[in-house]
Amino acid sequence: MDILQKDTWAELRRLAIAEAEREPILSGHLYDLVIRHRGYPEALAYLIAASLGNQVFNAVAMSDLCNETLGTQRRPSRRRMRSSSTQPS
């Protein structure tokens, strides 16, 4: 995450914490969706996991899998992208 993303996430977390203090009924949702995560990718992984999780493969296991997958994926370099786009199909 770059500095702008970190700053944006830090501000979002700060706002979520303040809202959780004002509205205790929302605190569980805010904690699950924003406060407990280090950044947007982790929060997105949790949201996907919560949507896909079931009794066989629960949300925590799914979240771990999503986080692991997001953490191990590397973006292709521009050089690699250019070389693959110039190769015939």
Query: Is 50 exceeded by the pLDDT of residue 89?
Result: no
Residue predicted with more confidence, 8 or 64: 8
pLDDT score of 30 more than 70: yes
User: What confidence score (pLDDT) does residue 79 get?
Assistant: 46
Which residue bears the tokens 């406060």?
A: 35
* Number of helices followed by number of strands (H, E) in the chain: 5, 0
What pLDDT shows up at residue 68?
83
Q: Is the pTM of this model over 0.75?
A: no
Residue 37 neighbours by CB distance under 10 Å: 22
Pick the CATH number of 3-73 from 1.10.3720.10, 3.90.420.10, 1.10.287.610, 1.10.3130.10: 1.10.3130.10
- Residue 80: pLDDT band by 50, 70, 90 thresholds? very low
